[in-house]
Amino acid sequence: MKPLEKLLKKPGSHLPVRPAAPPGQVPGPGSVPAPRRQSLSRPPASPEEPAGPAGPVPGGEGRWLELRPPEAPLRSPEDPSPCGDRDRDRDREPPSPEPPPAARCCCGCGCAPAAPAPPERLLAALLDRLPAAAHGRGCGAESLLDDIVLTHSLFLPTERFLQQLHQHFVLAAGSPPARWEEGSGLQRKRAVLAVLLHFLETYKGLLQEEESAGKVIKELYLLIMKDTSLYHELEDEIIKLHQLVETVELKVADETPPPNKQVKPLFRHFRRIDSCLQTRVAFRGSDEIFCRVYMPDHSYVTIRSRLSASVQDILASVTEKLQYSEEQSARGDALILVTMASSGEKAVLQPSEECVFTTLGINSHLFACTRDTFDSLVPLPEEVQVVPGDTEIHRAEPEDVANHLTAFHWELFRCIHELEFVDYVFHGERGRRETANLELLLQRCSEVQHWVGTELLLCEGLGKRAHLLKKLIKIAAICKQNQDMLSFYAIVIGLNNAAVSRLRLTWEKLPGKFKNLFRKFENLTDPCRNHKTYREVLAKMKPPLIPFVPLILKDLTFLHEGSKTLLDGLVNVEKLHCIAEKVRTVRKYRSRPLCLELEASPAQLQTKAYVRQLRVIDNQNLLFELSYKLEPGSQ
């Protein structure tokens, strides 16, 4: 299960319904949860209001991100969606006399937009527009170029896209069609060069994983370099193309990989301090990592594997390590690969699945076993020792923790290629191989949510716990000030976890100033009207900033499911433009570098290591048990 799907799930929905406690018995971990703390941003219901449906109230950390099929006409993701009949009536306005968006071009100047076209003709239409754009007459051509480069994988594989580009250049360099005007061949070659330059600038390192695409690019590159007609006026562009091709380091099938490739550490692999203090770099499918694969008796083997390795490849490495004989496989004792969560939930991975390492849960592990021993698998003992005591969060200053959170999340955010957002939602021909960095950031978002609950529920003293609650709200405020909305959202979601929000005595000891502050935070993260408040605050921020990434993926999912990419064989150009606009917002957020002054003192390095290696409890049942031990029920 992908990290985003876990974020979309309602927390606690997997928990069994607990029977009610007998009269006079104190509720315990196995009884029905006590009523949650009343939200600070909502007044208590009046006696005249009808009671809601019976049953446990879901936790707040997932309520706002639930995706449902649209029941009304589709809107743009940025448009506010009404929360109820009263809001709908209040916000209803007369229809606007302006023409619909489809009647205007991408740049909003009022000229005709690119018309829907078959996939094979869309690139030709773009090449026809680019020469006019060079003379200031092709309005919207540059935007259309960026739209197609970002989203072409939705309707045309990358290799086929580049082959068409190659064919257009060969046609223009040879005998142009009779319908072409004099000089059109040179203009078409210039247009092909402009598309290729923009393509290389956009894809960059991703092309290292595209063997077939790299071969086509090299062939086209050699044709352009041999064409003397382009040198006179486009010398700068030719030099830029040469530099890009060298920088990208295109991978061709007959080239051998470089030896002694460095192994990159994932989040929780071996917890090496020297690895966690290093600046994070982007992962690619060919990168190699170390991973532990456990046996039913909790022994393990350590394998070295590519990040994009399939389940079949991982099992082959495990079999080799265990010296598993072919006779055992022939007898039906073949190994299977299983993911096991800390809660005991397990799933068998199919041999063809790839990139399983980045899709694991926070405290999930890989197990290799036979089908006969599958039912006997049990999760590993809790990695976080449930022993109350002071951790680094109690000693560190809120400003230091918040700044290190922002710095680390900025590193992770910068590692995500903008095309990973498209591949994650639309599942392009590259599959999940190029979404590893995005999946790691989503995993980190979930990790911070559970970190908040873990630290609070491992703090036994009521006064100390209230002080920690105040510190966490302070950290959220500083993250918001740093324009790190990912950390801000994750902390607020963690404080709204059902196991935390039911601690009524702890919340009552919170000073009024911080109650009001948290009330504002709840209003900011309120999902009403499609996160209208959050979107308004985000629109006022200037880069650099870290957005709440799951909401971007939600908007892209809405665009994907709300309209078809191909209709009657024609590409929906308007849909491509909307998707590209969302991707361009990510580009804008990262258009300036983040500048945070962080000291290199031993105390700061200790806080940095703590923030980058959070040890959390992601088992909701265990969090509830800890919560009931601290406050068994309402007093």
Q: What is the mean pLDDT of residues 138-166?
A: 88
Q: What is the pTM of this model?
A: 0.80
Q: Who has greater pLDDT, 141 or 582?
A: 582
Q: What is the mean pLDDT of residues 185-213?
A: 86
pLDDT above 70: residue 113:
no
Which of 149, 120, 153 has its CA nearest to residue 430?
153
316's CB contacts (< 8 A; 6+ apart) are none
Q: How far apart are CA 168 and CA 621, in angstroms?
A: 61
* pLDDT at position 503: 96
Q: What is the mean pLDDT of residues 372-399?
A: 81
Q: What is the mean pLDDT of residues 221-230?
A: 82
**Residue 362 banded pLDDT, cuts 50, 70, 90:** confident
**Residue 75 banded pLDDT, cuts 50, 70, 90:** very low
Q: What is the mean pLDDT of residues 56-60?
A: 39
Query: What percent of the chain clears pLDDT 90, i.e. is strictly above it?
Result: 46
Phi then psi for residue 571, to 5 deg, are: -80, 130
Q: What is the mean pLDDT of residues 258-282?
A: 60
- Interval 311-327: pLDDT, tens: 999 999 998 888 765 55
Residue with tokens 């190659």: 166
- Residue 307 CA, chain-centre distance (Å), reads 17
Q: What is the mean pLDDT of residues 18-26?
A: 43
Q: What is the mean pLDDT of residues 271-294?
A: 77
**H-run or E-run covering 339:** strand 336-340
Integer angstrom CA distances of residue 347 from 354, 383, 389, 566: 15, 20, 35, 35
358's CB contacts (< 8 A; 6+ apart) are 266, 283, 307, 435, 436, 439, 440, 443
- Interval 514-573: pLDDT, tens: 999 999 999 999 999 999 999 999 999 999 999 999 999 999 999 999 999 998 889 999
pLDDT above 80: residue 440:
yes
**Residue 606 banded pLDDT, cuts 50, 70, 90:** very high
Region for residue 518 given its phi and psi (left: phi exceeds 0; alpha: psi -120 to 50; beta: otherwise): alpha
pLDDT above 60: residue 52:
no
* pLDDT at position 381: 83
* pLDDT at position 139: 54
pLDDT above 50: residue 99:
no
**Residue 501 banded pLDDT, cuts 50, 70, 90:** very high
pLDDT above 70: residue 482:
yes
**Residue 447 banded pLDDT, cuts 50, 70, 90:** very high
- What type of residue sits at position 602? P
Which of 101-105, 147-151, 301-305, 431-435 has the weakest average pLDDT?
101-105
Q: What is the DSSP letter of 592?
A: S
* pLDDT at position 181: 62
Is the distance from CB of 449 to CB of 490 less than 8 angstroms?
A: yes
| pLDDT, mean over the chain | 78
**Residue 279 banded pLDDT, cuts 50, 70, 90:** confident
- What type of residue sits at position 532? K
**Residue 581 banded pLDDT, cuts 50, 70, 90:** very high
Which of 47-51, 375-379, 555-559 has the weakest average pLDDT?
47-51
Q: Who has greater pLDDT, 57 or 609?
A: 609
Is the distance from CB of 20 to CB of 56 less than 8 angstroms?
A: no
* pLDDT at position 250: 60
Tally Cβ neighbours within 10 Å of residue 500: 25
* pLDDT at position 294: 93
**Residue 270 banded pLDDT, cuts 50, 70, 90:** very low
